[in-house]
Amino acid sequence: MLGVEDPRVTEVDGKFFVGYTAYGTDGHREYATTPMFATSENLITWNRLGPLVRGEDNKDHFLLPTKPEGRCVAFHRRPPSIWLAESDDLVHWPEEHMRAILSPRPDNWWDTKRVGGNGPPVATEHGWLTLYHGYDEDRIHRIGVCLLDIENPAIVIN
């Protein structure tokens, strides 16, 4: 690992969790990114929990501030889409508990090539307010907003 970037902190049940991107070489690729998590009770001392996934470029990850049905929910970018993942322990992220929830839109939109999450969603009376970014063929990055179902954040309302 050469370094880290893109920290995104979420408080869940009185503890702090940071999603950060580790980058470096992995023996096959010159520049590889790995989504990692760590936890803290005081924002000073951190304990690494490990990766969300291995062996693929993946970043823009963070946690939902609550645990629907007792499970931890993470959002991450498996290009070109935003994915939702669920875990019982923040260490094991089974592939069968991952699914794409927001993908690039068809031609003539600002987010036709890739989308990624910006940070933890905010609960509102209408759902989880979620900021995301994307770009088009010209690689012009823009910011957007979507609303996720408050009970089932895998459902994009608008």
**Cβ within 8 Å of residue 62, ≥6 positions away:** 8, 10, 19, 74, 75, 117, 119, 120
Asked if pLDDT for residue 148 goes beyond 70, the answer is yes
Per-residue model confidence (pLDDT) at position 98: 97
Least trusted range by pLDDT, from 2-6, 100-104, 114-118, 131-135: 2-6
Asked if pLDDT for residue 80 goes beyond 70, the answer is yes
Asked if pLDDT for residue 35 goes beyond 90, the answer is yes
What distances in angstroms separate CA 101 from CA 78, 116, 129, 147, 154, one per listed residue? 11, 11, 14, 11, 6
Contact between 26 and 6 (Cβ < 8 Å): no
Distance CA 115, CA 37 (A): 21
Distance CA 36, CA 128 (A): 23
Least trusted range by pLDDT, from 3-7, 43-47, 52-56, 76-80: 52-56
How does residue 30 score in pLDDT terms, banded at 50, 70 and 90?
Answer: low
143/69: higher pLDDT: 143
**Cβ within 8 Å of residue 117, ≥6 positions away:** 60, 61, 62, 75, 76, 77, 82, 130, 131, 132
Per-residue model confidence (pLDDT) at position 152: 96
| Domains observed in the chain | 3-148 (2.115.10.20)
36-64: average pLDDT: 93
pTM of the model: 0.92
Contact between 38 and 20 (Cβ < 8 Å): yes
Per-residue model confidence (pLDDT) at position 158: 85
Asked if pLDDT for residue 40 goes beyond 70, the answer is yes
**Cβ within 8 Å of residue 114, ≥6 positions away:** 77, 79, 80, 104, 134, 135
Per-residue model confidence (pLDDT) at position 55: 80
Per-residue model confidence (pLDDT) at position 115: 98
